[in-house]
Chain A
Amino acid sequence: MLSTPGDRMPEQPRYKTTDEVDFVVIGSGAAGGILAKELSTNGFRVVVLEQGPYLAEADFTHNELEVLRRNQLTNHPELQPTTFRKTPQEKAKRHRALVYGRMVGGSSVHFTANYWRFHEIDFIERSKVGPIPGTGFSDWPITYAELEPYYTKVEWEIGVSGLAGSSPFDPPRSKPYPMPPLPVKSGGVIFERAARKLGWHPFPAPMAILSQPRPGRSVCVQCGFCESFGCEVGAKSSTLATVIRMAEKTGRCEIRPNCYVHGIETSANGRVIGAAYFDKKRVTHLQRAKAVVVCANGAETPRLLLLSASKQFPDGLANSSGLVGKYLMLNSGPSAMAVFEHPLNDYKGVAVSRILHDFYELDPQKVGFFGGGGLDARFDLTPINFAFNGYDMGGLPPETPRWGKEFKATLAHNYTRTLEIVGHGTSLPVESNSFSLDPNLKDAWGLPALRMTYKDHPDDLKLGAFLRDRIMELLDAADAVQKWASPVEEQDFAYHLLGTCRLGNDPKSSVINADHRTHDVKNLFLCDGSSLVTSGRGQPTLTISALAYRAADRITALARQGEI
Chain B
Amino acid sequence: MNESVSRRHFLSRGITGVSAVWASAHWPALLAAAAHAHQAAKSAIPQKFEFFSAEEAKEIDAITSRIIPTDDSPGAHEAGVVYFIDRGLSTFSSEDQRTYREGLPELQARVSEMFPGSAKFSALTPEQQDEVLHSFDEPAGPGKAAKPAQRNLRRRPGAQSFFETLRQHTIVGFLIDPDFGGNRDGAGWKVIGREREHMFQPPFGYYDKGYPGWESAAKEAEKK
Closest beta carbon of chain B to A264's beta carbon, Å: 31
Measured CA separation A555–B138 after assembly (Å)? 58
Are the C-beta atoms of B71 and A493 separated by less than 8 Å?
no
Chain A residue nearest to B168 in the complex (CB)? A388
Are the C-beta atoms of B28 and A342 separated by less than 8 Å?
no
Are the C-beta atoms of B153 and A389 separated by less than 8 Å?
yes
Within 8 A of A (CB), among B16-54: 21-22, 25-26, 28-29, 32-33, 35-36, 39-40, 43
Residues in A whose Cβ lies below 8 Å from that of B22? 213, 218-219, 221
Measured CA separation A218–B30 after assembly (Å)? 10
Are the C-beta atoms of B204 and A345 separated by less than 8 Å?
yes
**B158-174 vs A: 1/0 string, CB under 8 Å?**
00000000011011100
Task: Tally chain A residues at the interface, Cβ within 8 Å.
Answer: 96
Are the C-beta atoms of B75 and A344 separated by less than 8 Å?
no
Are the C-beta atoms of B153 and A407 separated by less than 8 Å?
no
Are the C-beta atoms of A68 and B33 separated by less than 8 Å?
no
Residues in A whose Cβ lies below 8 Å from that of B198? 221, 223
Residues in B whose Cβ lies below 8 Å from that of A38? none
Within 8 A of A (CB), among B187-224: 188-189, 191-195, 198-208, 211, 214, 217-218, 221, 224
Measured CA separation A434–B22 after assembly (Å)? 46
Are the C-beta atoms of A407 and B68 separated by less than 8 Å?
yes
Are the C-beta atoms of B207 and A189 separated by less than 8 Å?
yes
Closest beta carbon of chain B to A473's beta carbon, Å: 18
Partner of B154, one of A62, A186, A390: A390
Chain B residue nearest to A95 in the complex (CB)? B155
Are the C-beta atoms of A404 and B66 separated by less than 8 Å?
yes
Measured CA separation A391–B153 after assembly (Å)? 7
For residue A3, CB closer than 8 A to chain B, the reply is yes
Measured CA separation A66–B203 after assembly (Å)? 30
Q: Which of A66, A70, A394 has the most CB of B within 10 A?
A: A394
Are the C-beta atoms of A493 and B153 separated by less than 8 Å?
yes
Are the C-beta atoms of A393 and B200 separated by less than 8 Å?
no
Q: Say whether, besides A65-B92, A383-B194, A389-B154, A403 and B167 are in contact (CB < 8 Å).
A: yes
Are the C-beta atoms of A398 and B148 separated by less than 8 Å?
yes
For residue A91, CB closer than 8 A to chain B, the reply is no
Residues in B whose Cβ lies below 8 Å from that of A64? 172, 175-177
Are the C-beta atoms of B143 and A401 separated by less than 8 Å?
yes
Chain B residue nearest to A387 in the complex (CB)? B171
Are the C-beta atoms of A403 and B151 separated by less than 8 Å?
no
Partner of A349, one of B36, B43, B204, B206: B204
Residues in B whose Cβ lies below 8 Å from that of A288? none
Are the C-beta atoms of B137 and A402 separated by less than 8 Å?
yes
Measured CA separation A383–B176 after assembly (Å)? 7
**B129-144 vs A: 1/0 string, CB under 8 Å?**
0100100010010011
For residue A312, CB closer than 8 A to chain B, the reply is no
Measured CA separation A361–B170 after assembly (Å)? 46
Measured CA separation A405–B191 after assembly (Å)? 12
Within 8 A of A (CB), among B86-140: 87, 91-92, 130, 133, 137, 140
Are the C-beta atoms of A392 and B153 separated by less than 8 Å?
yes
Q: Say whether, besides A218-B26, A346-B205, A62 and B177 are in contact (CB < 8 Å).
A: yes
Partner of B207, one of A335, A344, A399, A403: A344
For residue A160, CB closer than 8 A to chain B, the reply is no
For residue B1, CB closer than 8 A to chain A, the reply is no
Within 8 A of B (CB), among A310-366: 333, 335, 337, 340, 342-349
Residues in B whose Cβ lies below 8 Å from that of A2? 91-92, 180
Residues in B whose Cβ lies below 8 Å from that of A186? 203-208
Closest beta carbon of chain A to B145's beta carbon, Å: 5
Within 8 A of B (CB), among A26-82: 56-58, 61-66, 68-70, 77
Are the C-beta atoms of A68 and B146 separated by less than 8 Å?
no
Chain A residue nearest to B155 in the complex (CB)? A96
Measured CA separation A232–B33 after assembly (Å)? 8
Chain B residue nearest to A233 in the complex (CB)? B29
Measured CA separation A21–B31 after assembly (Å)? 37
Are the C-beta atoms of A403 and B153 separated by less than 8 Å?
no
For residue A246, CB closer than 8 A to chain B, the reply is no
Chain B residue nearest to A491 in the complex (CB)? B152
Measured CA separation A163–B213 after assembly (Å)? 13
Measured CA separation A56–B31 after assembly (Å)? 13
Are the C-beta atoms of B154 and A349 separated by less than 8 Å?
no
Are the C-beta atoms of A412 and B192 separated by less than 8 Å?
yes
Q: Which of B26, B36, B181 has the most CB of A within 10 A?
A: B26
Measured CA separation A429–B202 after assembly (Å)? 42
Partner of A57, one of B32, B194, B205: B32
Closest beta carbon of chain B to A18's beta carbon, Å: 36
Partner of A61, one of B36, B87, B205, B224: B36
For residue A207, CB closer than 8 A to chain B, the reply is no
Are the C-beta atoms of B149 and A184 separated by less than 8 Å?
no
For residue A450, CB closer than 8 A to chain B, the reply is no
Chain B residue nearest to A99 in the complex (CB)? B154
Are the C-beta atoms of B176 and A384 separated by less than 8 Å?
yes
Closest beta carbon of chain B to A417's beta carbon, Å: 9
Measured CA separation A344–B209 after assembly (Å)? 10
Are the C-beta atoms of A189 and B172 separated by less than 8 Å?
no
Residues in B whose Cβ lies below 8 Å from that of A173? none
Interface residues of chain A, those whose CB is within 8 Å of chain B, are 1-3, 56-58, 61-66, 68-70, 77, 96, 99, 163, 166, 181, 183-190, 192, 196, 204, 213-219, 221-224, 228, 232-234, 333, 335, 337, 340, 342-349, 383-408, 411-412, 415-416, 422, 484, 486-487, 491, 493, 495
Q: List 15 A-B contacts (CB under 8 A).
A: A69-B156, A184-B208, A186-B208, A218-B29, A221-B22, A223-B199, A383-B189, A385-B154, A387-B171, A408-B69, A412-B193, A415-B194, A416-B192, A487-B150, A493-B152
Q: Which 5 A-B pairs have the closest CB atoms?
A: A58-B32, A342-B206, A186-B205, A221-B199, A186-B207
